[in-house]
């Protein structure tokens, strides 16, 4: 009877290894699209979507605490987040978990988009901070004339370099909904994070 756990482990270990290999093989490789003014943008295909995922990186001359303060100052988003028309915090669950509403302006005749985002700090230390952002499309009734973004997932990662510099990485994929050609979104997906990180750096000078 004592041999059963060993037998189960022997059977399960190869299965787990196969699953891990399959999961890693489903991730598409990142392709560098832009490297300018200290900001690097990568894109990759996202499984099951015609829209690409982005990862953007830069070094910000500010400590983690200052950057996190800016990220949680949601009313400031129109000043530095690309395309942000208005942002309102709806709920503060605690010091690590927030829900906010945001409107993203679109060029005419395309309708504006809105999102309800749960912003959650999942790791925080002197050396690193990790944030997840996911959409809550049913949290608020949809508004006429605005397209609700129902699929959105993103992350922020802040890693301390020294007392005055932090490596900032943001990653995101979304489905904008409505009628927008994929090539338009995939073009703007480089401009958006580039402008956002550039303005973030200026805000934190």
In a domain, 19, yes or no: no
Please say if the pLDDT value at position 131 is more than 60.
yes
Span 98-105, average pLDDT: 97
Span 68-73, average pLDDT: 98
pLDDT at 26: 53
In a domain, 15, yes or no: no
In a domain, 21, yes or no: no
> 149 pLDDT band (50/70/90 cuts)?
very high
Please say if the pLDDT value at position 16 is more than 50.
no
In a domain, 14, yes or no: no
In a domain, 5, yes or no: no
pLDDT at 109: 76
In a domain, 11, yes or no: no
Name the domain count of the chain: 1
Residue 177's CB: how many other CB atoms inside 10 A? 14
pLDDT at 21: 41
Please say if the pLDDT value at position 49 is more than 80.
yes
CATH of the domain at 62: 3.30.530.20
In a domain, 55, yes or no: yes
Cα–Cα distance, 92 to 100 (Å, whole number): 9
The domain containing residue 106 runs over which residues?
Answer: 30-203
């Amino acid at each position: 009877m004592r041999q059963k756990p060993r037998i189960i482990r022997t059977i399960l270990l190869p299965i787990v290894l196969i699953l891990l290999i399959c999961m890693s093989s489903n991730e598409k490789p990142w392709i560098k699209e832009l490297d300018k003014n200290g900001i690097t943008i990568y894109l990759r295909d996202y499984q099951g979507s015609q829209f690409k995922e982005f990862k953007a990186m830069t070094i910000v001359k500010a400590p983690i605490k200052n950057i996190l303060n800016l990220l949680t100052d949601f009313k400031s988003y129109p000043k530095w987040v690309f395309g942000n028309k208005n942002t309102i915090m709806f709920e503060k669950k605690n010091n690590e978990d927030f829900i906010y509403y945001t409107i993203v302006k679109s060029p005419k005749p395309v309708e504006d988009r809105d999102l309800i985002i749960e912003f959650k700090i999942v790791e925080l230390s002197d050396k690193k901070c990790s944030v997840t952002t996911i959409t809550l499309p049913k949290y608020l009734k949809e508004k006429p004339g605005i397209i609700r973004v129902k699929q959105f997932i993103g992350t922020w990662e802040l890693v301390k370099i020294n007392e005055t510099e932090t490596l900032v990485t943001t990653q995101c994929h979304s489905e904008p909904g409505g009628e927008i050609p994929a090539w338009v979104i995939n073009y703007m997906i480089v401009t958006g994070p580039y402008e956002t990180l550039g303005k973030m750096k200026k805000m934190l000078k």
